[in-house]
Amino acid sequence: MPEWPDLFVLRERLDQALTGQAAVGAEVYNPIVLRAVLPLPQWIAGRRLAGLTQRGKFLTFHWDDASLMVVNPMLTGVFALTQPGAKRTKDTAFAITFEGGIQLRYRDEKQMGKVYLLRGEEPAAAVPGFAGLGPEADPSSFDEADFIRRGRKRQYEVRNLLMDQEFLAGIGNAYADEILFEARLHPKRKLSSLADAEWAALAAAVRTVMALGVKAVAEGMPPGLGAKVRSHMQVRGRENTPCPRCGSRIVLRSLGYLETNFCPTCQPAPPGQLY
């Protein structure tokens, strides 16, 4: 669930709240998310947070001894900042307390996220999915011409292109739907069928939707984090409501094991496609 805009804002907030502080303790409630040689409390004791970086849907905590904690929140992982004594929700997997009296909690209702504790190893070697990541879906550095040039060499459907982390890092189900709505493209359009103007619209939509996402998440995220900001989305999660552009009913369709929301009028099906 967390996608590029979510992690961008999260990284910024965690950096402001925690960088420079030493970890004074940790508690593990559900170790299933942890990929580590040592238990977290032992691993983290006395380490000071030097900073955080984002790469696609991965967030990396850099500690002062060059060790790393790399987090891939997958579908449902969220971070929250709280007082150490605050009531804990039952999806909390672990908590790290910092010297300033703030506790960082990682919650994950599906426990599918993965947290790698690395000591000196490069994440590209130690973390599955990290090495092959494509350029960031960062609206401030997004290169539309490069996106189009590389995209034209791909063979599959347009939604799969957006979801391909090796093509562009950081977009998942929610923002893929939003980008396709913005570009007025049906999720199953084949890349080979896109006209020049459609490629241009798609590339522009990536930048626009990512920039709007960052703004909306930054405005909507509470100080204690822990929320998923989705209220700005126009089609994702909006099935059976009127399309904000044309008033048609937004539909929900399955694509294999994934689901997509789109407007059947603004995003017409390709020839031969039933919906």
CB 194, min distance to Zn ion, A = 19
Residues 255-274 that bind Zn ion (CB under 5 A): 263, 265-266
Complex with Zn ion: residue 66 or 246, whichever CB lies closer: 246
Q: Which long-range contacts (CB under 8 A, 24 or more apart) does 225-228 make?
A: 225/10, 225/13, 225/14, 225/78, 225/79, 225/80, 225/81, 226/78, 226/79, 226/80, 226/81, 226/82, 226/105, 226/107, 227/78, 228/1, 228/2, 228/6, 228/78
Complex with Zn ion: residue 193 or 248, whichever CB lies closer: 248
> How many residues of this chain interact with Zn ion, rule: CB under 5 A?
7
CB 263, min distance to Zn ion, A = 3
CB 161, min distance to Zn ion, A = 22
Complex with Zn ion: residue 62 or 245, whichever CB lies closer: 245
CB 186, min distance to Zn ion, A = 12
* Separation of alpha carbons 122 and 68, rounded Å: 9
CB 189, min distance to Zn ion, A = 16
In this structure, how many other beta carbons lie within 10 angstroms of the beta carbon of residue 22?
A: 15
Residues 194-253 that bind Zn ion (CB under 5 A): 243, 245-246, 248
Report the interface residues with Zn ion, using CB under 5 A.
243, 245-246, 248, 263, 265-266
